[in-house]
Amino acid sequence: MISLSQVSKHYTNGPAAVAGADLAVARGELVSLLGPSGCGKSTLLRIAAGLEVPDAGTAEIDGLAPAEACRRGALGVAFQRPALVPSRTALENVALTLELLRPAAALDPRELLETFGLGAFLHHYPHQLSGGMQQRVNIACALVHGPAVLLLDEPFGALDELTRADLTAWLRGVLARTGQTVLLVTHSVEEAVALSHRIAMLSPRPGRIRAVLDVPAAARTDDWTAPAAIAMVAAVRRQLREFVPAAA
């Protein structure tokens, strides 16, 4: 599981990014972090990934410090921009994860990419792939070593609306099979509703977790026009509006 306890982070020459954030993500659960731009969502995720050290509070992954969880290969991280080595093919990029971690057991990169519909693009370089394909390779890189916990930082944020909807449906299918614990940072309420068991909402900077909503199973659907999904999206928006003032 993922545990963030009273986490605060203050960057030099700036206001606090997050203040006293508490969040627990249970095993096999997917929790989304929603909030306005600059509210500290990505900072929380980076703290959980061990990329930032909190000024106060603790972050744990399955009871381990994030750095130790990384060392043991318990963590997979996918960023908004695909983190692919330009001089390596899709297959080599996925294999890079295994070259570095050398896990005892892992998925076969080739089979994984084939499962992701990229069988014909194994030997293509990143610049030869579309944005959606690059993002699928990016997620394959985060999944190939079979981590128990997955951290996703706006993985589809840079994609167009239709590709984003397609990939959200695709990711739902992938995660349903792997059953990983996931912390997802997103700006899209629809994406959060379609994927999450719970949605944690942050206030504007300094980010505090102000509300956590359960998402009913009926709302977690690929059909964003389903009545349950529409109702949940409206409920989340209402809740967000309570602590995010409307722009002038």
Residue with tokens 């627990």: 24
Tell me which residue of 37, 48, 38 sits closest to 149, measured CA to CA.
Answer: 48
Dist CA 129 CA 121 (whole Å): 8
Our CB check for other proteins shows the closer of 71 and 237 to be 71
Stretches 1-9, 16-24, 25-33, 72-80: which one binds other proteins (CB under 8 A)? 72-80
Report phi then psi at 121, rounded to 5.
-120, 20
Using rule CB under 8 A, residue 53 touches other proteins: no
Using rule CB under 8 A, residue 75 touches other proteins: yes
Using rule CB under 8 A, residue 131 touches other proteins: no
Dist CA 197 CA 227 (whole Å): 17
Using rule CB under 8 A, residue 71 touches other proteins: yes
Using rule CB under 8 A, residue 182 touches other proteins: no
Using rule CB under 8 A, residue 125 touches other proteins: yes
Our CB check for other proteins shows the closer of 48 and 201 to be 48
- In total, the chain counts a number of residues equal to 248
Report phi then psi at 90, rounded to 5.
-55, -45
Tell me which residue of 248, 187, 184 sits closest to 31, measured CA to CA.
Answer: 184
Using rule CB under 8 A, residue 65 touches other proteins: no
Using rule CB under 8 A, residue 77 touches other proteins: yes
Residues that bind other proteins (CB under 8 A): 46, 49-51, 67, 70-71, 73, 75-77, 79, 81, 83-87, 96-97, 100-101, 125, 127-128, 141
